[in-house]
Amino acid sequence: MAAAFLLIPVYHALGIGLRTAMAVALPLNSIAMIRAEPHLRRGKLVMFDVALPIVSAPG
């Protein structure tokens, strides 16, 4: 979510509507997290015992 917190206000300040800025920034943030995951896993920086229940929780 860090990138979204930075990108949404920047896009909004550039004149892009708030909902459009959110719709663009959140998927970009998801892509960044997906790309960072292998590096974080190799560095043993992912706590799977905490992450897996959060990811698999319904709703």
Q: What is the pLDDT of residue 16?
A: 94
Mean pLDDT by 10 residues, the chain (59 residues): 81 93 87 90 91 86
Q: Which of 46, 18, 36 is nearest to 8 (CA)?
A: 18
Report DSSP letters for 30-53, one per residue: HHHHHHHHHHHHHTT---HHHHHH
Q: What is the pLDDT of residue 1?
A: 58
Q: Determine the Cα–Cα distance for residues 41 and 17; give it in Å rounded to an integer.
A: 36
Write down the pTM of the prediction.
Answer: 0.59
